[in-house]
Amino acid sequence: MNKQTKKKLGISAYIFFVLLPIYWLLNMSFKSNEEILGTLTLWPENFTFDNYAVIFTDPTWYMGYVNSMLYVTMNMVITLVVALPAAYAFSRYKFTGDKHLFFWLLTNRMAPPAVFLLPFFQLYSSVGLFDTHLAVALAHCLFSVPLAVWILEGFMSGVPREIDETAYIDGYSFHKFFIKIFLPMIGSGIGVTAFFSFMFSWVELLLARTLTSVEAKPIAAIMTRTVGATGIDWGVLSAAGVLTIIPGLLVIWFVRNHVAKGFALGRV
């Protein structure tokens, strides 16, 4: 039992380390700026929702969340739609140049977003997509699609070929088989892929900020305006930060039963 207790202590200590900075942000978001800049208190003494009220009553603030959610959702949908058939092809068939193509896709995941900054800006401006949600979604696809194909390929390879063949013998067409039989079988893989696309697109700022100006500006870029002439509005900044954590929490709650397999990208 001694060993078990030690393990519990260790993991609790690590989780404490993970949660403490987040707690501090939460703590600050319920304080007024006077209290934040006054003496250091471990919990809010004059509990206030004012900072959240600022965000929820000002459209330029809350539209930032809407914009971010919009392009993240578009990114997840586009990623899944193009990655599913491709992953199926890679897991089931040999075709000319398949290995090279797979490696080429992965190299895109290795490109630093900063490299694509200027050309993306010019490309999307020239096709008239600048400052739209679609531009950000497409730009993020470059990084989420390779990973999605990789994860889905791992999950699909775990489904035996015989299932495909039996379905064809039973008279299923490819489309019907793929949607009705195959997709439900790799449900957890799809969940995890969506999770990874969300994870990339929701946290990324550099490209999202460069490709937008007003209409599709993400929340992360709007947050910078808490820095004003009178200094930083710490309370509102913390509240905005706390609100960006909530969508992530919801997503992780939905995929919690699949993370164990999914984090190994379907490869254990």
Partner 1 sequence: MNKVENNKAWFLVLPVVLLVAFSAVVPLMTVVNYSVQDIFDVNTAYFVGAEWYREILQDPRLQDSLVRQFIFSFFVLLIEIPLGIAVALMMPTKGRGASLCLILLAIPLLIPLNVVGTIWQVFGRTDIGLFGWALTSIGIDYNYASNPIDAWFTVLLMDVWHWTSLVALLCYSGLRAIPDAYYQAASIDRASGWAIFRYIQLPKLQSVLVIGVLLRFMDSFMIYTEPFVLTGGGPGNSTTFLSQTLTQMAIGQFDVGPAAAFSLIYFLIVLLVSWLFFTTISHLDKAK
Residues 143-172 that bind partner 1 (CB under 8 A): 145-146, 149, 157, 161
Sign of the Cα torsion 41, 44, 45, 48 reads positive
**Binding characters for partner 1, 27-66, by CB under 8 A (x = yes):** -x-------xx--x-x------------------------
Interface with partner 1 in residues 225-264 (CB under 8 A):
234, 237-238, 241, 244-245, 247-249, 251-253, 256-257, 259-264
Q: Which of 118, 163, 179, 185 binds partner 1 (CB under 8 A)?
A: 118
Q: Shortest distance, CB of residue 56 to partner 1, whole angstroms?
A: 18
* Window contacting partner 1 (CB under 8 A); options: 15-23, 46-54, 56-64, 181-189: 15-23
What would the two tokens of residue 267 be? Answer: 């490869």
* Window contacting partner 1 (CB under 8 A); options: 2-10, 47-55, 57-65, 183-191: 2-10
Interface with partner 1 in residues 172-211 (CB under 8 A):
198-199, 202-206, 210
Q: Which of 2, 5, 57, 112 binds partner 1 (CB under 8 A)?
A: 112
Pairing of strands 227-228, 231-232: antiparallel
Q: Shortest distance, CB of residue 116 to partner 1, whole angstroms?
A: 5
The residues near 154 (Cβ < 8 Å, ≥ 6 apart) are 189, 265, 266, 267
**85 binds partner 1 per the rule CB under 8 A:** yes
User: DSSP letters of 121-152?
Assistant: HHHHHHTT-TTSHHHHHHHHHHHHHHHHHHHH
What would the two tokens of residue 246 be? Answer: 């909530």
Phi, psi dihedral angles at 205 (to 5 degrees): -125, -40
Length reported for the chain: 268
Find out whether 133 and 73 touch, Cβ atoms under 8 Å. no
Residue among 53 and 246 whose Cβ is closer to partner 1: 246
Q: Which of 90, 130, 155, 182 binds partner 1 (CB under 8 A)?
A: 90
* Window contacting partner 1 (CB under 8 A); options: 12-20, 45-53, 57-65, 183-191: 12-20
Radius of gyration, alpha carbons of the chain: 23
E strand or H helix at 28: helix 2-29
Distance set, CA 214 to CA 130, 209, 236 (Å): 10, 10, 20
